[in-house]
Structure 1
Amino acid sequence: MRVTKTLAFAGLFAAAAAAHAAPVTYRLDPNHTMVLFSWSHFGFSHPTADLHLGQGTLTFDPQHPEQARVEVSLPLDGLDTHAPALDEHLKKPDFFDAARYPVVTYRSTKVEPLGGNRFRVTGDLTVHGTTRPVVLEATLNKLGPHPMTKKASIGFDATGSLKRSDFGVSMYVPNVSDEISLRITTEGSVAQ
């Protein structure tokens, strides 16, 4: 009888531990991450550029999504506007000053579940040596094993906006818009 009680207790303990799974940290995949930003160019067009991911992690527990954390670095040498001359211009001192400030970073400070698969993520964005809070509206696309690698994986989309003048990047405002729109898509897997 004692063995049966011990086994039952061990089974209950294992079930309780599984129900309270620990947060999982995913390494974001640079090949499946796009950080796009767009602006108005004198009202005539709305160009879009991509900041390629350098490194990034996302820690997430579906039981406690408010404890999620994201941290990314975006080297400016990966800036891509699809116009090489514009890439070089944006890296100069009158815009990003990439020689002095070569990396853009984002670190979450708060995650608010909004119901379903939607979240509001507040974080510190550092651009041009200046750090300001930026809010992203995020959607969890999928959580589970990746069909190709079989690794535990996660995917999110997010949108947001910021004023570039808040970061000391104000050349040509207001003709080239101060407001920058952000659109992000990313996926990552557990590193093994």
Structure 2
Amino acid sequence: MYKKTFLILLVALLSINSFAQNLTPSDADSKISFVIKNMGVNVDGSLKGLKGKMSFDPKKLSSSQFDVTVDVNTINTDNKRRDDHLKKDDFFDAEKYPVIGIKTTSIQAKGNNVYYAKAVLTMHGVSKNIQFDFIATPVQGGYQFKAEFSVDRKEYGVGGNSMTMGDNVKVSLDVVGKK
């Protein structure tokens, strides 16, 4: 009887450990930021309202996945007038498209806590495949994920054909996922 109970418990524990850790993105501990040239000057900003699901296990990357969003209405460039304009329909159209999302399709190891992700970035109602490297560092109760990549804002229909605004936006992710 005890051997059977022990065997069932052991199998249950092994099956739980065979899946990636389920993590919740911590908005308070994370920072989503961007930089774009406007009139020849770098303008930086950030977004909050991080939500979604994350699962990560460096030993079982096939079951690891990120599916997270940020709230467009939280955009902050330290200029309220500009932020309000960015929320309008000629830029992000926050009323119609209130979130920007990233969902991974695959994650591969590169070595030394560096990973390669293929993902779908959805912004302004447009979804495009992107690829980027990220660093995953264990922290108390989860992981910290850091990544940088660039996107062409015009491919997502954000901002139109502006003569003064750059096309490429550098995005920086510093996301903490906790159990």
Aligned to 1:149: none
5+ residue gaps, structure 2, are none
Equivalent AA in structure 1 for residue 44 of structure 2 = T
1:81-160 paired onto structure 2 within 5 Å: 81-143=77-139, 146=140, 152-160=141-149
Q: Given that residues 125 and 131 in structure 1 are in contact (C-alpha distance below 8 angstroms), is that contact kept between their aligned partners in structure 2? A: yes
CA RMSD in angstroms, aligned pairs only: 2.3
Q: Distance in 1 between matches of 2:123 and 2:110?
A: 28
Give the one of 19, 23, 28 matched to 2:20: 23
Query: Is residue 26 of structure 2 the alignment partner of residue 37 of structure 1?
Result: no
TM-score of the pair, normalised by structure 2: 0.86
Q: Given that residues 38 and 181 in structure 1 are in contact (C-alpha distance below 8 angstroms), is that contact kept between their aligned partners in structure 2? A: yes
Query: Is residue 43 of structure 2 the alignment partner of residue 47 of structure 1?
Result: yes
Cα deviations across residues 69-113 of structure 1 (Å, max 9, x unaligned)? 001111111111111111101011111111111111111111121
What is the CA distance between 1:186 and its match in structure 2? 1.1
Q: Given that residues 154 and 161 in structure 2 are in contact (C-alpha distance below 8 angstroms), is that contact kept between their aligned partners in structure 1? A: no
What is the CA distance between 1:17 and its match in structure 2? 2.8
Q: Given that residues 113 and 120 in structure 1 are in contact (C-alpha distance below 8 angstroms), is that contact kept between their aligned partners in structure 2? A: yes
Give the one of 61, 66, 82 matched to 1:65: 61
TM-score of the pair, normalised by structure 1: 0.81
Q: Distance in 1 between matches of 2:62 and 2:167?
A: 31
Q: Given that residues 21 and 61 in structure 1 are in contact (C-alpha distance below 8 angstroms), is that contact kept between their aligned partners in structure 2? A: no
What is the CA distance between 1:125 and its match in structure 2? 1.1
Give the one of 152, 161, 165 matched to 1:163: 152
Bigger strand fraction: 2
- Bigger radius of gyration, 1 or 2? 1
Count of residue pairs brought into register by the alignment: 174
Q: Given that residues 34 and 53 in structure 1 are in contact (C-alpha distance below 8 angstroms), is that contact kept between their aligned partners in structure 2? A: no
Q: Distance in 1 between matches of 2:94 and 2:32?
A: 17
Equivalent AA in structure 2 for residue 141 of structure 1 = T
Equivalent AA in structure 2 for residue 164 of structure 1 = R
Identity %: 22
What is the DSSP-based 3-state SS (H/G/I as helix, E as strand, rest coil) of the residue aligned with 1:39? strand
Further displaced range: 23-32 or 102-111: 102-111
